[in-house]
Amino acid sequence: MGKVSIGLRGWRFDESAVFTDDGEIMAIDAMDPETRQRVARLREVIGSPCHACWLLHGDENLDACNVAAAVYGEPLSEVVVCDVHEPDFLYWYREEGGSERRGEPELQDAFHEWFLDGGRAPEDYAGLEHVDTDPTAVPQVSGTTSAAEAEREANTVDLDSLDID
């Protein structure tokens, strides 16, 4: 059993912790508490603005913020980033000492501080190769304009079917 992301890149789950033997997403009640907390938080984070965009634009310009593409860190102190700013987070995490905060609630503040200080990934920073989403877990969606949109929509549908309250 491998690891998969659901809805957003970043957080990864043991397949056996989120899928039944039949490959269906497990009922939230059937998940172990840690997984349940993360999946529930994930649902809230999907569709929320990228933190880096928000630091740049603020609440008064929420329309200018991109929507979350990836989530890192711990639930409730997570870092949410869009496609544009994910390399900045990954660069900070790997090259600027961010990984020292791994598992700590301070990770979010530390990244925000670095970013506000002008911290950015170099132009040519390749970032991470995303080989994380199990394509079989994502329902097919047709009639959308871009692959990214289709994926986002598929992921939303996927999570909505989890029926979390």
Residues at the interface with Zn ion (CB under 5 A) = 50, 52-53, 66, 82, 84-85
Helix (H, G, I), strand (E, B) or coil at 70: strand
Q: Residue with the closest Cβ to Zn ion?
A: 50
Q: Determine the Cα–Cα distance for residues 31 and 33; give it in Å rounded to an integer.
A: 6
Q: Determine the Cα–Cα distance for residues 3 and 134; give it in Å rounded to an integer.
A: 8
Instruction: Find the shortest distance in angstroms from Cβ 138 to Zn ion.
Output: 23
Instruction: Find the shortest distance in angstroms from Cβ 81 to Zn ion.
Output: 6
Question: Which CB sits closer to Zn ion, 18 or 82?
Answer: 82
Instruction: Find the shortest distance in angstroms from Cβ 53 to Zn ion.
Output: 3
Question: Which CB sits closer to Zn ion, 25 or 81?
Answer: 81
**Terminal-residue alpha carbon distance, the chain:** 28
Q: Are strands 70-72 and 9-10 parallel, antiparallel or unpaired?
A: parallel
- 24: alpha, beta or left, given left = phi > 0 and alpha = psi -120 to 50? beta
Helix (H, G, I), strand (E, B) or coil at 49: strand
Bridge partners of 10? 71
Question: Which CB sits closer to Zn ion, 21 or 60?
Answer: 60
Instruction: Find the shortest distance in angstroms from Cβ 74 to Zn ion.
Output: 20
Question: Which CB sits closer to Zn ion, 8 or 53?
Answer: 53
Q: Determine the Cα–Cα distance for residues 57 and 50; give it in Å rounded to an integer.
A: 10
Instruction: Find the shortest distance in angstroms from Cβ 128 to Zn ion.
Output: 16
Question: Which CB sits closer to Zn ion, 19 or 73?
Answer: 73
